[in-house]
Structure 1
């Protein structure tokens, strides 16, 4: 009899203990919440090939004329799906042009010559600019994926902070911060593509020079930059 009471006591104790066990909680260590308030494409890097338009007679480019740029764009979505947005920001760019327009300076006066029938090693023009882009953005992005189509169109103001022209031939002629260059440059641009690869084009709507002349004719060189744009975060 005592054995049956003892076994009954053990059984009841086990049942009671089982009822007091804590509720199992799911492990959320590897669970990531979807960010419905995401922003896209806020850092950018760019590489371009620089072409020149509105060239004076006899002018030509030679060699590769590269450009590089990078910066930050603050993304401001305008609809609930966040597929339509505007963005504004700031960046820096470097542009180089290999061509046959020689620049020299003497007593504060600049002289411009198209190099014809002249042997020389290289002749280049370099510019470093701070850029301030403003753009409208269309994309089919989602909170779950960073791979999507994008079409961005904008307008950019650029401020020239440094310039250098250098001719290397029988002599070396260098001009730093030529005052004939236009300090502020403006132009529209386009960036479109999918995921990592995005086509980029920029057209300078104003000449690079303010009042430079060759034989009494204005030098109205403008730029067309074509290349690739890469976005991060």
Structure 2
């Protein structure tokens, strides 16, 4: 009986140490913030004088980022991911077609002449981030500063108008830049993180102009981003 107890004790000790070592090995390879969900308020930069925004211009963002730590402490990392983004911009630029079937862009000066005027975009995104954080393998509440670059490809777009001119909708506007890119910054603690995106190129191609001005507008997005796992 004594021999049996010694053997059982030895086996429990052996497997206990092995399990503890396994936990340590897993903990030493922990990763952070591999899923993200965000919501932003969308602004237009480089606006012509008469261009204005109205209503809520929102963006919704979600995706996966592979976290790749680059130091032993694992508080520095490179993140590379893939995501989806839907964005709307409510403003007073009317997108319509001329008699020769070309798209023309004009400013709507009377806000009472329409009830809706916006364009929206659906994008697939590739974020690349340099990540600093104060996390450990057992801490879920920590500070983070993530800076980076994001490249996007436009899957679909829509322009909608409803007002005195009737209802106008287009989904085949070739003047949108299919490829868009910009810099990003996410800063926060625990769940709450402020997110900023500043586009480095225009929403529209270079040949798009208003009658009296250029339309070299870019996207600026400010909001909240939530990281999971």
Common topology (TM > 0.5): yes
Gapped runs of 5+ residues in structure 2? Answer: none
Q: Following TM superposition, by how much is the alpha carbon of 1:49 offset from its aligned partner in structure 2, in angstroms?
A: 0.3
Gapped runs of 5+ residues in structure 1? Answer: 1-16
Would you tell me which structure has more helix in proportion to its own residues? 2
SS state of the match for residue 218, structure 1? coil
Give the number of equivalent residue pairs: 215
Q: Structure 1 length normalisation: TM-score? A: 0.87
Q: Does 1:149 align with 2:143?
A: yes
Q: Structure 2 length normalisation: TM-score? A: 0.88
Aligned to 2:225: 229
1:73 corresponds, among 47, 65, 70, to 65
Aligned to 1:197: 192
1:122 corresponds, among 96, 105, 116, to 116
Q: Does 1:105 align with 2:97?
A: yes
Distance 1:69 1:177 in 2: 23
Larger radius of gyration: 1
Q: RMSD over aligned Cα, in angstroms?
A: 1.9
Distance 1:42 1:227 in 2: 19
Contact persistence 1:89–1:133 (CA under 8 A): yes
2:183 corresponds, among 183, 188, 191, to 188
Distance 1:137 1:62 in 2: 35
Give CA-to-partner distance per residue, 1:132-171, whole Å, 9 cap, x none. Answer: 1111001111011121111000001111110101000130
SS state of the match for residue 53, structure 2? coil
Contact persistence 1:105–1:175 (CA under 8 A): no
Contact persistence 1:189–1:203 (CA under 8 A): yes
Q: Does 1:212 align with 2:195?
A: no
Distance 2:67 2:4 in 1: 50
Matching of residues 160-179 of structure 1 within 5 Å:
160-170=154-164, 171-179=166-174
